[in-house]
Structure formats: structure tokens, C-alpha cells
Structure 1
Amino acid sequence: MATVRTIVLPHYPSYPIHVCMFKDVSNAAFLRSQLLEANPDFDYAFLDAAMILSPQHLLSAAFLALHCTQVARAKTRTAHSELVFRLHPNNNIGESYRKFGISDKTSALIAVKLALKPETTAQVVAEHLGEHVKGESADPGEALEHVGMWCDVGKVRKMYKLEGVGEPKKGKRGAIVNGNASDMDERKEMESVITGIITLKGS
């Protein structure tokens, strides 16, 4: 059985968000095929974990997906495809899936289930994903603090065009002025800009 963490957004308390993380996944091609076939049993947002920087990054897109679905402003077919779409900085739906969704070679993934129906419980999600995802379930943590642990920061920086954001500043001769800047500081600065980009796209 997969480990599931559930987050309830204050704006949408009736629609909890169930999150699972997996590493060493060996059947990403099968999972992707179920999405392409629009199999309702696999109506999830399957995300490439390398492209998710932090919990706030993920939840910003999840909030917009829920909001746009509820107010009939969604650009895609389902709330889960809307989540993938909302992660991307532009309006190309296909590109959103290519960059943030899983590929046949994905080995670390984040699965998100928006509980739009009362019967979509954490237990149901845990059992279904535990049965069908061939990989090792990882605990996202009580507050999803481990979301982002497999992020490729370079890829995310390139995707959102964040050259220079969160990087140590250099002096005239190329010396690092802020040489002790931590990875956490870098991510926080990037996160702030990224969530702004996602919010502006949704406005």
C-alpha cells in the first residue's frame, strides 16, 4: 500500500488533495498509457518529481486546478490535467505534459489525486496506487516537506527562465559575494518567483 498524505486547502475544505511519492518506478510507460487512453481509474496528476521544487510549487498549481474547475474556467478536460497545465509557465497544454508529466522513462514520480468525490479517500488512493505503481513508496511527510527532494533545480530554473534567481551573487572579478548561501535559500527565492508566475497565469 502506498503512503498517502492529505492536504486540505482553506479555500476548498470539501476537496482534499491526496499526494503520494514513488522512487525506482519501473512501469511509468504503463501509467502513461492509461492517461493517454483516458482510463477513469487512472485519473491522477502523475508528475515527474524532477520538475517539482517544493510543496508550495505543487499546491499553488493544485489550488488553481481546483479553482478553475469549480468556476468553469478550466482549459483542460479534467481537474488533474488542469493541475499539470497550471504548472507550466505558458498556455501550451501538450508542452505542459511533456515537461511536467511522466514519460516512459520516469523513475521518480509524484501522484496527486484531487478528491472531487466523497468516496475518493486516502485509503482508496493508497490501495489503488500501491497495487498499480511498480516502485517504492516514499513518505511525503506530514506537511509534504519531502516534496521536492528529487527536484532537478537546474531543469526547473531553465523551465521558468530563472537565470540568476537564487544564485550566489558575484563581484566584478567573478568572486562569490554570497558564498554561504544555502540550497534552502536558493529554493525559497525560486519558489517565490515560480508561485508568482503560476498565479499570474491563472489570473
Structure 2
Amino acid sequence: MGILMLFLFTFAFISCDKENEEGRKITDYKEYVLTVASEMRPGLMLAEGPDFLKEVYPVKKENSEEWETLSNIDGFEFENGYEYRIKISETSYLNYSMGQPAWTEHELLEVISKEKKASEGLPKHFIPEAFYKDKFLPKYRYAVEADNKEVIEEDLKNNSILPLEYHYFYYAHSEGPKWLAIKDDISVLGTAHYKSKYPEAGVKAAVVSYTIEIN
């Protein structure tokens, strides 16, 4: 009888433990106030997959001087050029039946203020150096169709169209994928358009084609 009772107790314990591991449950909940910067920035989101880059909200918690990031705030409608103070909830979940069992969701509770201003001390990006230093440096080829093309070709040899010391990659943007080039935390380039600069060479029309080669 004792062995039978021990078996039943063990079975009940295992069943209870299994129930705790299945299904979604809340592991933590908190509410707090954030300052949301007037501009979004590219950032690295580790929770959404390896090497996933997207625009993120730069935010500051109360009594903090450091800008941090949030990728999503449910119910929050952001307008560029305005700095916000908002109250949000942060709920952490656990579900062992999912591929990614633990996650956190943020939801807007209240917009406290909305002020048209440029946020101060905002970083150019939120991408760690260890990430962008691993990205490729560009090489380029060119083809020129123009009068006096030798002059243009010589200039292209000596003056690269793309800065070759920058690391280039794409990131997810609300308007579609955009490219970003980073040399360091201060030197950052975004989407750009290149114009002809050879009127002194008697060029009537010039088309320059360049390719970034991924090593």
C-alpha cells in the first residue's frame, strides 16, 4: 500500500508540474512612465531573431539619463518630431509549448504629454560595435558612358563614390528596407543619392553603376 501511495503521489506531482509547463502564464507585471524620443533609430533586436535590425523607439525611464530601446508599444501611435511622456505596462509571459517560451509585451496605458521638440542626446543608432564591425566593407566597379570618359574614370579611381571604410547593411524601416553605413558611433550614413560632378570635363550625360560586393 505504501508503494502504491508513493507511486500515486509521484504521478500527481509530475502531472501538476507538466500542467505548469504547458499553456501561457504571466511571470511578471509592472507599470512605469517613459519618455519617448522625437525620432526613431535603427537598433538590433536580439529577441526577434539573429541579426535582426529595425527602427526602434529610443526611450528613457524616469530618473534615468540614458536612452534605451523598445521595439514595440501596443496601442501607441507615434508621430515623428514629437517627444512623449507615456505610461505603459510591461507583462512577461512563459509558455513552454512555444519555440520561444519566454517573452515580454508592452502596452500603452496613458499619453501624459506630447511636445513638439527635438530630443537631446539621441544616439545615431543602437547597434553594438561587435555587430556592425562584422559586416562587410564595400568594393565597387563602375561603367562610364560620357564624353571624355577617361577623365571621369581617373576621378573614380582616386575618389570612391561610396566611402570604403564604412560597414554597410540593410534594416527594416516603416517605409521599406533602407541601407545604413556605420564607421563608428558618430559617423553614420543613410540613404543617399549621387549626382554628376563633372561639368568641367565637358560631360553631357554620365551614368555611373556601382556594386557592393559581399565578402
Q: Give TM-score scaled by structure 1 length.
A: 0.24
Greater helix percent: which structure? 1
The one of the two structures with greater contact order (alpha-carbon pairs below 8 A, sep at least 6) is 1
Greater strand percent: which structure? 2
